[in-house]
């Protein structure tokens, strides 16, 4: 049976390059929202007429499938509800998701080098709304497309670069996690990475958190260490470390409320988790697992019963129990 390959990522994440690679591998047909936008409206960067563009995309996808071809659907596809409608429309075909974990700064730099520009406000909106794909949405498979870090400032270490005292190493972190190291010792190691470093002393500036971001993160980890004994303990520990790492990117002052909001931080955090864990050498399945938990960690806290129902339908009863536990840990950390 022919397969639809759905690419998921922000602009500048490398989707179109990967689409051409898949085109050769599968002898499929690329259906690109940017190409349709250019053909119909004369510009790839114009963000209007979305429904017209996707109606045409769906027509082209149906035509290619009817002709016995695989389809590579090259669009941002960031929204889970829209993906759900797509999956229902093409329910007779397997759909594989490809998630691009490209860091925001890398995408930003790529776009800056293009002739067609995209406003940073639009790019950041995509990042805050990029929902990590889950098998429970109806995908036949979820693949991670990793953008390898090319900047030493990112604080990563890999075998081909050699070991360095100023880079993160998964072995060092796991040693500290097993020893249940204190806040200062743990973050002395983690802060080799700039995204962890900015959590130190970070005032969250809202009435729901009395601790700094690093203190909150450590308190959640402390709860996990004290009460979680399952085999996937390491995944839960990493979820504790990464669940709020995207908050500084999402920080917005709400004048009518009188405090800062962090809308979309779970999505940004999930993308960061995926990239960071892959850079540290963890298997794709582990990175995807932690990213999924990070993605869903606000569902129960904000959505209550409806959020719990959403987790159940996306991830099943076993993961729902784990996310209830994590919600308790998150509340404890406040």
- Give the β-pairing of 259-261 and 252-254: antiparallel
DSSP string, 137-171: GT-SEEEEE------GGG----GGG---TTS--HH
Residue 18 shares a structural domain with residue 127 = yes
Residue 260's CB is within 10 A of a number of other CB atoms, namely 16
Per the structure, how many domains does the chain have? 2
The predicted-structure confidence for 126-178, as pLDDT tens digits, reads as follows: 999 999 999 999 999 999 999 976 543 444 333 333 444 578 999 999 999 99
Residue 209 shares a structural domain with residue 91 = no
- The residues that bridge with 72 in the sheet, in sequence order, are 5, 30
Q: Is the CB of residue 70 less than 8 Å from the CB of residue 93? A: no
CATH code for the domain of 280? 1.10.3210
Residue 102 shares a structural domain with residue 241 = no
Domain end marker among 117, 145, 173: 145
Assigned token pair, 37: 């936008």
CATH code for the domain of 39? 3.40.50.300
Assigned token pair, 172: 């060092």
- Domain boundaries, position 282: 154-332
Domain end marker among 92, 113, 145: 145
- The residues that bridge with 254 in the sheet, in sequence order, are 259
Residue 271 shares a structural domain with residue 320 = yes
pLDDT tens sequence for the chain (334 residues):
899 999 999 999 999 999 999 999 999 999 999 999 989 987 655 556 788 999 999 999 999 999 999 999 999 999 999 999 999 999 999 999 999 999 999 999 999 998 888 999 999 999 999 999 999 999 999 999 999 765 434 443 333 334 445 789 999 999 999 999 999 999 999 999 999 999 999 999 998 899 999 999 999 999 999 999 999 999 999 999 999 999 999 999 999 999 999 999 999 999 999 999 999 999 999 999 999 999 999 999 989 999 999 999 999 999 999 999 999 999 999 9
Q: Is the CB of residue 111 less than 8 Å from the CB of residue 38? A: no
Q: Is the CB of residue 265 less than 8 Å from the CB of residue 247? A: yes
Domain end marker among 145, 167, 193: 145
Predicted structure pTM score: 0.93
């Amino acid at each position: 049976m022919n397969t639809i390959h759905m690419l998921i990522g922000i602009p500048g994440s490398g989707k179109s390059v990967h689409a051409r690679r898949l085109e050769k591998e599968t002898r499929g047909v690329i259906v690109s929202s940017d190409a349709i936008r250019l053909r119909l409206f004369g510009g790839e960067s114009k963000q209007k007429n979305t429904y017209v563009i996707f109606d045409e995309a769906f027509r082209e996808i149906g035509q290619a499938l009817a002709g016995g071809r695989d389809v590579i659907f090259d669009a941002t596809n960031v929204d889970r509800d829209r993906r759900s409608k797509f999956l229902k429309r093409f329910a007779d075909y397997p759909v594989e998701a490809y998630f691009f974990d490209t860091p925001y700064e890398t995408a930003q730099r790529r776009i800056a080098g293009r002739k067609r520009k995209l406003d940073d406000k639009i790019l950041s909106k995509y990042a805050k709304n990029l929902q990590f794909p889950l098998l429970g949405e109806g995908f036949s498979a979820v693949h991670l497309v990793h953008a390898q870090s090319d900047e030493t400032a990112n604080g990563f270490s890999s075998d081909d670069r050699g070991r360095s005292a100023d880079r993160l190493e998964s072995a060092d972190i796991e040693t500290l996690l097993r020893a249940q190291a204190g806040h200062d010792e743990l973050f002395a190691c983690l802060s080799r990475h700039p995204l962890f470093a900015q959590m130190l002393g970070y005032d969250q500036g809202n009435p729901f958190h009395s601790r700094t971001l690093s203190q909150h993160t450590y308190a959640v980890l402390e709860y996990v260490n004290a009460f979680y004994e399952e085999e996937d303990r390491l995944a839960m520990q990493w979820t504790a470390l990464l669940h709020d790492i995207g908050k500084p990117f999402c920080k917005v002052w709400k004048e009518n409320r009188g405090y800062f909001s962090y809308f979309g931080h779970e999505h940004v955090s999930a993308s960061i988790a995926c990239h960071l864990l892959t850079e540290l050498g963890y298997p794709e399945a582990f990175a995807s697992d932690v990213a999924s938990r990070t993605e869903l960690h606000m569902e129960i806290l904000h959505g209550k019963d409806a959020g719990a129902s959403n987790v159940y339908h996306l991830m099943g009863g076993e993961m729902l129990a784990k996310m209830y536990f994590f919600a308790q840990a998150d509340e404890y950390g406040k």
